[in-house]
Homo-oligomer: A and B are copies of this chain.
Amino acid sequence: MFEEVVQDLIDQLGRFPGVGPKSAQRMALWLINQPDTTATEISRTIIDSKRKAKFCKICGNISEEEICSICSNPNRDRTLIAVVEDSKDLVAIEKTREFRGLYQVLGGSLNPIEGIYPEDLRIRDLVMRLGDGKVKEVIIATNPNIEGEATASYLARLIAPLGVKVSRIATGLPMGSDLEFADQMTLGKAFEARTEVKVEE
């Protein structure tokens, strides 16, 4: 129904994840009504970022350099590796400022239905990193959903024989939430993983 020139733009913008036909339409019409510079800037950044973005040779994080800023930071604790599914999980953890170790970015989670097997993720790289005995603990921080849990058990079984401590981030009630509205599984996990309250005397 749109003139071809608009439809082409809608189709291309609709390729982005989470952008449905209505959103793509809105984005396309907005762009056409903007000054030329807007289209030029967006378009140039898409090309530039894609060209410059590499994956860190050590951990798989997105980086402009061969080695990312975390792996090349001498102040990070090299005895700890947190395993995450992708770069945005890494960023979420960095924001907490709770973790000062290194990362391994898998590039997804195991999902045989969608054809994602261990060899499709950066699992071999992780095992290689554990070879020199310097890493003392691997914290598996994949998502607490079916695929993330499957990936976590797979990794735990793979790493445990290497003599490295393997841990999993805790599941439980989110801070500020209501017991009443928690799903059964989360509440169940919260009971299972209860911690003793120590009273100072």
Contacts and interface: CB of A to CB of B under 8 A. Distances in A.
A40 interface: yes
A185 interface: no
A87 B12 contact: no
Contacts of A64: 3-5
Given A39-B47, A46-B9, A53-B32, A26 B88 contact: yes
A30 interface: yes
Q: Could you say which of A4, A29, A46 has the most chain B C-beta atoms within 10 Å of its C-beta?
A: A46
Give the bracket for the number of chain A residues in contact with chain B: 35 or more
A95 B41 CA distance: 34
Contact of A12 (B2, B3, B18, B46): B46
Q: Could you say which of A5, A36, A107 has the most chain B C-beta atoms within 10 Å of its C-beta?
A: A5
A171 interface: no
A136 interface: no
Contact of A17 (B30, B50, B51): B30
Given A3-B68, A42-B46, 14 more contacts: A5-B64, A6-B49, A6-B62, A8-B48, A15-B38, A25-B88, A26-B88, A31-B50, A34-B50, A36-B50, A36-B51, A39-B46, A39-B49, A43-B44
| Leading 8 A-B pairs by shortest Cβ distance | A39-B50, A9-B49, A12-B45, A43-B46, A16-B27, A43-B43, A1-B91, A5-B52
Contacts of A61: 3
Contact of A53 (B5, B48, B51, B52): B5
Interface string A181-198: 000000000000000000
A51 B31 CA distance: 11
Contacts of A50: 9, 31-32, 34, 36, 39
